[in-house]
Amino acid sequence: MSEENFKLSRRRFLQAGAVGTMLSAGYSASAIAQSDTPHLSDYQPEYFTAAEWDFIVAATDRLIPADGEGPGALDAHVPIFIDRQLVGSFGQAADWYMEGPHDPNAPAALGYQSPLTPAEAYRAGIAELNTWCKENHGAVFAELEKETKDAVLTSLEKGDIELADTKGANLFDLLLQNTKEGYFADPMYGGNHEMAAWNHIGFPGARASFREWVGIEKPYPLGPVDISGKRG
């Protein structure tokens, strides 16, 4: 199957899933997921400072923009997911080997090489990148034009902007990885708000099994269910 065919059929699949989801939303709207997480604009970050929060909101919004096919990173509350992860065991590298030696040039297979925890790497990286943006574009990242933001992120991804303060941690890789995770993880972690991402791709969620549908060449009709049992 050519890549184009795959894309086409994938899109068709997504559309069919979305129709099924809309149908399923019809019968018991009152019991359908009502999120108890605050709206993004009301959220008080636990880890990020106000300036850092502005950066995270602006950057994740460019990685998964709202004007694409599905919900954007902000619709899915990805910044809330990242903030919560950074105060948790991931952000503190609680179960990682963090002793030296730290060799930034080590092969990727040797794992994370920075002496900074992910939370520290975010903090140092955001500060340095905002400084770079001010020096080169006259404003911090969050205040730049859309096209400039995209150019900065592209340069960061390609390594054209080199951040020294993260001491070997790759801010762009962390950010992209955590954005994807926040988009698709169970809503219990703060992202994937109201299962928006699952609805978009037609993923049935934590239903554990639908083996009676194996071999049936139709999209699975029911919308997703999350770990807490809410229906999306």
Under the binding rule (CB under 8 A), the answer on residue 36 touching another protein is: no
194: left (phi over 0), alpha (psi -120 to 50) or beta: left
> Considering beta carbons, is residue 98 or 222 the nearer one to another protein?
222
Nearest by Cα to 80 from 51, 52, 57, 55: 57
Report in angstroms the alpha-carbon separations of 212 from 204, 216, 217, 220, 232: 14, 8, 12, 11, 21
Residue 16 touches another protein, criterion: CB under 8 A? no
Interface with another protein, residue 5, by CB under 8 A: no
For residue 205, the cross-strand partners are: 225
Burial pattern 138-165, b for ≥16 Cβ within 10 A else e, equals eebbbebeeebbeebbeebeeeebebeb
We find the least distance from the C-beta atom of residue 26 to another protein, in angstroms, to be 7
- Find the binder of another protein among 1, 4, 5, 28 (CB under 8 A): 28
Nearer Cβ to another protein, position 10 or 207?
207
Is 34 one of the binding residues for another protein (CB under 8 A)? no
State yes or no: residue 24 binds another protein (CB under 8 A): yes
27 binds another protein (CB under 8 A): yes
Encoded tokens for 207:
């239903």
Residue type, 159: G
Query: Which of 31, 51, 66, 139 forms a contact with another protein (CB under 8 A)?
Result: 31
**For residues 208-227, which are near another protein according to CB under 8 A?**
208-213, 220-223, 225
CB neighbour list of residue 208: distance below 8 Å, 6 or more residues apart = none
Phi, psi of 42 (to 5 degrees): -90, -10
Please identify, among the stretches 48-56, 86-94, 108-116, 206-214, the one whose residues bind another protein according to the rule CB under 8 A: 206-214
Shortest Å distance, C-beta 21 to another protein: 8
CB nearer to another protein: pick between 152 and 225: 225
Q: Can you give the binding site for another protein, defined by CB under 8 A?
A: 20, 23-24, 26-28, 31, 207-213, 220-223, 225, 228-229, 231
